[in-house]
Structure 1
């Protein structure tokens, strides 16, 4: 950055261009499209002037220049290569599954994302369900916890049963419960109770959580029996 003349000079490595299969016109075209200013070249040097001849514009231009992606997928800043058995697997920082599948050489049948929402968008709700199960089980195993997969499958089924991926929280499954006390038992207790009071809602106390809160038997098993027959002796 030449602050005296208010210009930015970029020296291009010819060998790096060849390795990345880029040309100088490719770079200038990309920069002009992103920065919305003309780019001048002198050999393998790019000369860039800010729109306004001021130091502030020059500094901002320098920041914007560093963010321009010349080649590759913008949402993925870094890739780590690991050898697993006889094959090499790529792990990315960031995710853009739909764009990755368009890359030549990528096997779509063995490419996944740990983002359930993205898996749902690209592959459908069943893939999102499997993604939730795999990610939760993987996290539990890393912590040395042994949890029966059926519990995780039940949770993932509840999260995806409507064809969409819902969170387990007040904006998802817990917030959709019919019981006021069950909703209040999860998060933001006071807000749920105030909202229910303003609407005049009535809790029928049909579930487990709300009956435990009020201290009465749960309507399950022996708690669901109202008639007792005493056999004659």
Structure 2
């Protein structure tokens, strides 16, 4: 946009290229589409919605730029939120990202009419953020990092995990739940976590024989 003439007429901005070239005009058009004249970069539009529960008007944006929004004068920082988990982590920290995961997961489940105990959702959020960074639940994240070969193979790309484990000579000690279910053993939880040994004690009949 450095070459050419730029002028305004009311609410209209008129750009005139330096040369009468269709190619230059096309380039100028592409540049103007990505140009931010006013507002926050990354936010395409904003919709005002009245909440039924609180009777308050809330601004919902298409796109997000949490750091810049929080710098706008008049914005209530304590009541501003984003569903961009990584952006929340970079701006407010991993604890805020954990809370965002819990809130967003709860909303999705509520919209589907599913009643899931909040403690299960909190456990998933803790697992995703325990390392200080956000990790996904999937073969490229937590599920793909499990120590057990069978547990990794049970979650997608089964053949790949089994081949890699065979090439590396990995062993599975069957300490988790998934791998024990696969091989048909008791899971190491509850009564399955206890080993019972029967002692050899003499019976009453044997005692009477010894006394006689």
Bin the TM-score by the shorter chain.
Answer: 0.7 to 0.9
Go from structure 1 to structure 2 and tell me whether the alpha carbon gap of 1:38 and 1:218 turns closer, same or farther (over 3 Å shift).
same
Match of 1:207 among 157, 176, 180: 176
**1:78 maps to which residue?**
45
1:118 matches 2:84: no
Checking the alignment, whether the CA contact within 8 Å between 2:17 and 2:24 is kept in structure 1 is: no
CA drift of 1:40 comes to: 4.3
SS at match of 1:165: coil
CA distance in 1, matches of 2:70, 2:169: 51
Distance 1:47 1:108, change over 3 A: closer
The answer for the alignment partner of 1:46 in structure 2 is 14
Q: Aligned residue for 1:97?
A: 66
5+ residue gaps in structure 1?
Answer: 1-34
1:102-127 deviations in Å (ceiling 9; x for gaps):
11110111111011211111111111
Go from structure 1 to structure 2 and tell me whether the alpha carbon gap of 1:229 and 1:102 turns closer, same or farther (over 3 Å shift).
same
Mapped partners of 1:73, 1:151: distance in 2: 37
Residue 107 and residue 190 in structure 1: after superposition, are their counterparts in 2 closer, same or farther (change >3 A)?
Answer: same
**Post-superposition offset of 1:128:** 0.8
Distance 1:184 1:53, change over 3 A: farther
Alignment coverage as a number of residue pairs:
198
Kindly state the Cα deviation for residue 57 of structure 1 after the two structures are TM-superposed.
3.0
RCO (CA 8 Å, sep 6+): is it higher in 1 or 2? 1
CA gap of 1:214–1:42, structure 2 versus 1, over 3 A, is closer
Shift of 1:43: 6.5
Contact preservation (8 Å) 2:50, 2:57: yes
TM-score relative to the length of structure 1: 0.76
> Deviation digits for residues 25-49 of structure 1, max 9, x if unmatched?
xxxxxxxxxx342324487673421
Larger radius of gyration: 2
Distance 1:181 1:80, change over 3 A: same
Secondary structure of 2:31's counterpart equals: helix
Name the CA distance, whole Å, in 2 between partners of 1:41 and 1:149: 57
Q: Deviations over 1:131-164 (max 9, x none)?
A: 1111111111111111110110111111111111
Residue 14 (structure 1) aligns with: none
Q: What's the TM-score once normalised by structure 2's chain length?
A: 0.83
User: CA 1:210/1:93 → structure 2, altered by over 3 Å: closer, same or farther?
Assistant: same
Distance 1:167 1:59, change over 3 A: same
Residue 133 (structure 2) pairs with residue 142 (structure 1):
no
Report SS of the residue matched to 1:90: strand
Measured on the aligned residues, the alpha-carbon RMSD in Å equals 2.2
| Structure 2 unaligned regions, length at least 5 | 205-212
Query: Hey, what does 2:210 align to over in structure 1?
Result: none
